[in-house]
Amino acid sequence: MSPGGAEGRSVGRPDLRDPVGVFDSGVGGLSILRHLRQELPGEDLLYVADSAEVPYGKKGVAFVRARALALAEFLFARGAKALVVACNTATAAAIATLRERYPWPVIGVEPALKPAATQSTGVVAVLATEGTLASEKFGALLDRWGRAVEVIVAPCPGWVEQVERGELDGEATRRLVEREVAPLLARGVDTLVLGCTHYPFLTKVIREVAGPAVAILEPGEAVARQLRRRLEAVGLLSDAVSGGREAFFTSGDPLAVAEVVRRLWAPGASVERLD
């Protein structure tokens, strides 16, 4: 089944060649998509950027959960055999509900606090949106892995919007990053956890500000490996070893979103309006 080529799923078991559905509040989930493509080069991928509602971080749990359910329904209706929630805030708000509702693999994303706590010898900072940091899911993660090291949480206002505009470098972006990261370095942080899927696109500037001695962790590789394991476990891993394609959708302005997707993903990418 080609990406975006089905208007609905026939009753019964998904096929090996059906696509994997992925969604985020905007273009940030492309940081997860790139790891999915590297790990699973034969899989077709459907990506939805809910750009009309970005960012999710300041919106209520009920609203984010409703959006997640609507986007999941769209992707499964287009034949997705699995779902990747490529958004920390949406994972925290909706992953349990999605797994209860759908029998297919549903993979979420969470801040890489476990590996950070394991490798840090000082202080760990979790950079994430307000919605993620205030969630019960993150609270449980912090309770489990935040005891061995000091953990600082840092909402990063403006970062998501900067990535959505495709402004990944330049003086304004550097000032935004310095405003959040410099005080963390002054407190002895040796590990930065990127707890929003938009933030890996700012890694170059974050590295310039933080310096080479500070570890920067993101969850994309772990998410991709987990998707492979889950597809293998249920017999839905594509038998194609290459040639996977992508289709992109947005609830926002497809022309504006396409400009950013072409910068973050590939020059020839096109984006359809989400129905």
Bond from prior residue into 115 cis (ω within 30 degrees of 0)? no
Indicate which residues carry an active-site annotation: 87, 196
Question: Which residues does 26 contact at the CB level (< 8 Å), separation at least 6?
Answer: 49, 50, 51, 54, 55, 160, 163, 164, 198, 252
Question: Which residues does 138 contact at the CB level (< 8 Å), separation at least 6?
Answer: 88, 92, 110, 111, 128, 132, 195
Decide if 234 contacts 105 (C-beta within 8 A): yes
Distance (Å, whole) CA 271 – CA 189: 39
DSSP codes, 100-135:
HH-SS-EE-----HHHHHHH-SSEEEEEE-HHHHTS
| Angstrom distances, CA of residue 2 to CA of 29, 49, 71, 72, 210 | 21, 19, 19, 18, 42
Structure tokens at 34: 């790139």
49 bridge partner residues = 24, 250
Q: How far is CA 272 from the centre of its chain?
A: 20
Decide if 193 contacts 125 (C-beta within 8 A): yes
Question: Which residues does 258 contact at the CB level (< 8 Å), separation at least 6?
Answer: 248, 269, 270, 271
